[in-house]
Each structure stands twice: as C-alpha cells, then as structure tokens.
Amino acid sequence: MDAPPRGRFAPTPSGALHVGSARTAVASALAVWSAGGRFLLRVEDLDAARAAPGATAAMLADLRWIGLDWDEGPDVGGPAGPYAQRDRAPLYQATLAWLRDRGLVYPCACSRRDLEQAAQAPHGAEPVYPGTCRDDDPAAVLARARALGRGVSWRFRTDPDAPPVIVRDRVSAPITQQVHRDVGDFVVMRADGVAAYQLAVVVDDLAMGVTEVVRGDDLLASTPRQVALYEGLGGRAPRWAHLPLVLGGDGARLAKRSGSMGIAALRERGVPAAWLRGWLLESLGARDQGTLRASAGGFDVGAVDPSPVVWRAPAAGASS
C-alpha cells in the first residue's frame, strides 16, 4: 500500500492573505486529509527584502481564523522542519554543491539587464537565456564577475536533446514544454546567494516528502522547470493540481495586495468565519460539515472545476 500522501501550502508572506490563497490552502489540506495524509505549512520567506514585517504571523492568524490548521508547520514543528525557507539556506547550498559536482549547474556572470538588452525583450519579461556563460570555464566566469564587481548566479544546465516535459495536471489542462528551448538554463541560485524559488521549492518538497502539490495556476508555467530539477536530483515529482484563479466581481484577478478581498479585511468588516468557510468549500465542490477537517471526507481535488471562480463578498451584515 502506498504511504499516506503529504501535501503543503507554501505561501510567500509578501502581503495580506486573500480569498484566492485561502482557497488554495483549503484545497491542499482537503486533498490529503481525504486520503488520511498529512498537511504541512511552509513559509516561503526566502526573499527578506519582500517580506513585510509581521506578515508571516498575520498570514498564519488569517488561516487559523478560517478554521484551517496544519499537521506540521513553523509554529507547530514536525519531523521535516524547519518550515520556514529562511532557515533552510544550508540545504539549498548543499544541493547546489551536489549539482555542481555533477556538472548540472554552472556559474553565470550576466546581469538581468545584460540579458534583457541581448534579447531586446520588453522590460520585465523573462527572456530565454541565450547560453552566454554555459560553455565557459567556470573559473573564468568567476573572474569576469569579480572584475565587474558582481557575484555569479548559478544556472541549471538544461538538456537540448531531452524530450519535452509533459505536465499532467489533476485540474488544469496538461502543458508541454521543452525547457531548454522554451526557458533556457534557469537560475537556481541568485547572485546575492539566495536560492531561487525553483530550487528551493523542489528541494523542500523533496526533503519534506511532499507527494501532492496543490497551488495556483500562476505557477503552472514553472512546473516543467521543477520537473527538470526533480530529474536532475534523482527525485520523484509529486502529483500536480493547479487551481484556477479567483477573480474579483469585476473579472480582475485578485492580487495579494487587494485589500477588499483580504481575509483580514473581511474579518474586520464582520464577515463571519463560518460564512467564508462555507464559500471556500462550496467553490471547491466540497460539502461543509462544520469544520474543514470534517469536510475533507470524499473530497477529490481532481473534480474541482477548472474554470475561474468569481468572488462575491457577502452583503454587509451577512451572518452564518
């Protein structure tokens, strides 16, 4: 018999938790609880510059307010800790060294600006890496970066001859990507020594034994890169379920910072937690059985409607 599944919610504490993230969190928990598994909370606070002070504590409080709890996490501990990425840097460095010893990563002295100029990509778009430093002697790249007063980033060496990665998703349509051609060698360690999201998420999901990833479909396009990393690390990729966005009533995407759909803002407006729990469960096709854990029975994340959900806030004074 397969071991019980392990799932996680892995938010970045960069702003107020909103309805869309809460929905993802609930879906992640139900997906594993329904199969007798464990639900983990991991705080993706890699980027100290983006983390607002107190944001992690506020986010955990918002999740608890909607009635969510977790079997392992930063505030409750567990066997796979630490559960905050900021405390996991040595693991990312050790993984980088492992990849480096196998020639799977190489140093790159290019700045984002160099690459944007080379590709003439519109500002902010992620250009396909042209392979500038790929075949250089690593010592020469390090010397070049030093002369420019920069650190080096480290890029994953993608295989031009690999068959395309096909991600079969339990909710979204499958996607196919030839990572070398479509993205190029991507950064796994930034020039400032902070692990890139792509590396950290794969290292952590592997180390934490995560078998089910349920997250927003804004990360679908990252998934083939992560599959390539699982292959490079010799690990088994989890099952994927990318949930559609929750749209505001005006059809616009809910941004993390959009206050009106923030969980805290709803609480302050007097929206009852039970009302919100009911809305979240209904939007996922689950029946409200009084608590989130009790509502997990029979939940199948693969049956979640793949079309975007429109958020409708209750009229002021709505009661449970």
Binding site residues, ligand GLU, CB under 6 A: 10-12, 44, 201, 215, 219
Distances (CA, A) of 260 to 16, 255, 264, 311, 320: 10, 10, 9, 11, 20
Establish whether 256 is a catalytic residue: yes
Q: Cβ 216 to ligand GLU, closest distance in Å?
A: 7
Q: Cβ 287 to ligand GLU, closest distance in Å?
A: 26
Do residues 28 and 238 lie in contact, with contact meaning Cβ atoms separated by under 8 Å? no
Whichever of 82 and 278 has its CB closer to ligand GLU, that residue is 82
Q: Cβ 237 to ligand GLU, closest distance in Å?
A: 12
Q: Nearest CA to 242 among 16, 65, 24, 10?
A: 24
Options 256, 260, 275, 308, the catalytic residue: 256
Whichever of 108 and 214 has its CB closer to ligand GLU, that residue is 214
Tokens of 66: 């909607």
Residue given tokens 């078998």 in the structure block: 211
With b for 16 or more beta-carbon neighbours within 10 A and e for fewer, the 168-197 pattern comes to ebbbbeebebbbbeebbbbbbbbbeebbbb
Q: Cβ 211 to ligand GLU, closest distance in Å?
A: 14
Whichever of 201 and 301 has its CB closer to ligand GLU, that residue is 201
* Strand, helix or coil for residue 140: helix
Whichever of 11 and 244 has its CB closer to ligand GLU, that residue is 11
Q: Is beta strand 165-167 parallel, antiparallel or unpaired with respect to 239-243?
A: unpaired
By annotation, the residues acting in catalysis are 256
